[in-house]
Amino acid sequence: MDGNHYSFCQIIKTISVEFTREYSEDNTKEIIKGKIHYQSPSKTVIKIMDPINQWMILEDKEMLIYYPDDKKAFRIISSQNPFSMPFFQAFIGVVKEDYGLTELGYTMANYETNDNSLISHWNPPKNLSKFLGKIILEFKDNKIIRMELKNTDGKTIIKSLYKNHIFHGATYFPLEISTTTYLNASFTFEKIVYRHLQFNSSLPQDIVDFKIPEDIKVKEVKW
Amino acid sequence: MIKGSFGNLGKALSLFLSLLILAVPIVAQENWQQETIAKAKKQAGQDAPGFIFGIYGCMAPLIVPLVVGSGWMYKPSPPPTAVVGKSPEYVALFTETYQRHMQKAAAKWAWYGSAVGCLFWVALSVLTVFAAEEAYQPYYY
């Protein structure tokens, strides 16, 4: 574990937070509501309540999807990358001063300061510089307010805005994250609003001890 | 006669409404499935790892595209954001379609790489034979 990860685990043992996610693409809009329970270092349980009763358990390279009402379950196993929910990773990633970019192989190219704001520009790993563009992070009063990912031509392909921060430990956590992804001829928009945030509280026992009931046949998808 | 006409019209209308009640759920289901397949194809198009499979195909021509295309070794998982809040039927159809289209895209790139790899090996073989013939100098007495 590096220093950042160790201090993150010291600060955050568990997180529980309710969320609403709005996702818009091609003139359609989806809204889901639920609750996330996170247990350091790598277990995330997402309980969706609306529009469907669904549990998603992400732990390392396994994703379990469970439907209590339909009595169905899927187990999806990846042989490569561990599973994570990007909109929640964007939330907890703020604990790291560099947003975890150094761990991903990015290097800071330059930075500029203006009043209370800090804008840093990050270069991608050298071996991926032909495929990945730069990342720009903007902080104001120690709160992350903007992240932009550019392609190799310098065009913005992902832009995230962070608002409504709450202070815990030594970090400001954004309770609202809006992300626009620019595709070739269209774009997608995602807005996450978090509420009733709890750090280091005891997780419900059904979350800690969760197991698929034995009478439910689990469909496995693995490679 | 007028009463008979109204009777026939009423029967036709009842039949039409009955068919409509039966047809709407079927059409709705087909629409739902088509939309899911379209979304899975679009997601696979965005996620398809082209270049790396081109490299693999170049390194092991014919073998890599055949293995990848068969779906035996390569079964990519859909991203969690694509299936969160979705029904089990959606997850099953999306995952199956997503995997199939990712396999197709990977196999396509592997075939491109395989073509380049084959050309390389053929050229290398020709050069090797040519160099061997040049090195063999018969002596005439």
Lookup: tokens for B100 = 């199939």
Instruction: Among B31, B67, B68, B84, pick the best mutation site for testing chain A contact (most A Cβ within 10 A).
Output: B84
A199, A203, A177: which is closest to A8 by C-alpha? A199
**Does residue B80 sit at the A interface (CB-CB below 8 Å)?**
yes
Residues of chain A with C-beta less than 8 angstroms from the C-beta of B55 = none
Q: Model-level pTM greater than 0.90?
A: no
Residues of chain B with C-beta less than 8 angstroms from the C-beta of A21 = 84-85
Provide the pLDDT confidence category of residue A180 given band limits of 50, 70 and 90. very high
What confidence tens digit (pLDDT) does each residue in A52-65 have? 999 999 998 899 99
**Contact B85/A222, CB-based, under 8 Å?**
no
Provide the pLDDT confidence category of residue A6 given band limits of 50, 70 and 90. very low
**Among the partner residues A52, A74, A77, nearest to B85 by beta-carbon distance:** A52
What confidence tens digit (pLDDT) does each residue in A77-105 have? 887 778 888 889 888 888 887 888 888 88
3-state secondary structure string across A7-24? HHHHHCCEEEEEEEEEEE
**Sign of torsion over alpha carbons B58, B59, B63, B67:** negative
Distance between CA atoms of residues A106 and A102, nearest Å = 5
Beta carbons within 10 angstroms of residue A211's beta carbon = 8
